[in-house]
Amino acid sequence: MASPLLRMRALGACRQIRSFSDTSRRNAADVKSLGVIGAGQMGLGIALVAAQKAQVPVTIIDTSDKALSKGLAFADKLLAKDVAKSRMTQDQADQARALLKPSMKMEDLSSVDFVIEAVPEIPKLKYDIFGNLAKICPKHTILATNTSSISITKIAAATTSDPTDTSASSRVVSTHFMNPVPVQKGVEIISGLQTSKETLDTAVEFCKRLGKVTSVSADTPGFLANRILMPYINEAVICLETGVGDRDSIDDIMRNGTNVPMGPLQLADFIGLDTCLSIMKVLYQETGDSKYRPSVLLGKMVDAGWLGKKSGKGFYDY
């Protein structure tokens, strides 16, 4: 029979677990405000969905006033389109638009409950941002990143110079939205080594409030989405460069054989060939597995500046 001391410890642990779970649920419901860093297509999409679905005020941070203006104009366009297609009323569109607040001051995130960073995939840039967020945001704020390839553990470590201090790093998580955010339902939630269960649960529940379907991934190279998708695209490029099939045959067989809306080469163009190459390099370097070796043709196209839709030329001309 267990000693009274052991029984007391077990009881205390059970109470702590119940309390922890209850806090997770309560925090998910208590997210009353959101901050989004980055006014590009991803950041603006996340902000707009939060305003529409969760109906919370969103502070959008960017270092460029031009980027903020362009992002809000994009939001106006999307809202007008939804009204024209009777997906929402004009009043609903106006209410969502009123919740979007642009700012060039990171300090304006000093009272938000949840922050999502959506800046380019530059490690140092993200590390610097999270170091600042740890100082600016309240102690309860969830610090999320939209990264598609950078280690969440490394981003979390950037919140402090003392690895034993997990007060901020335990609140770091990834909410990796799929592009375009207003259309795609999927979000993968990735925990770093330091991420607490409370943070993970809160992130999952908040993304569900945004109408998203969540998948939980470990902090490994490529996470779930890119670990599966990018080798598929890379293999299609290898099939093209080795003459297994031409561009149209490769895309047609996947569209008409597996019922995907885009073939892999067209999809690569829409993602950006430079982005595809960057992710393949991360997979290859961090795993050391030759199956992730980037296609030679993919590298040459990036060298030529043929990046896909955004540059006007990739596997297709735009």
Handedness of CA 112, 155, 123, 183 (dihedral sign): negative
The C-alpha atoms of residue 271 and residue 190 are separated, in whole angstroms, by 21
Residues comprising the chain, all counted: 318
To which residue do tokens 């885009």 refer? 262
The C-alpha atoms of residue 140 and residue 171 are separated, in whole angstroms, by 8
If one counts every other C-beta atom within 10 angstroms of the C-beta of residue 239, the result is: 18
Catalytic residues: 148, 176, 188, 226
Name the β-bridge partners of 217.
190
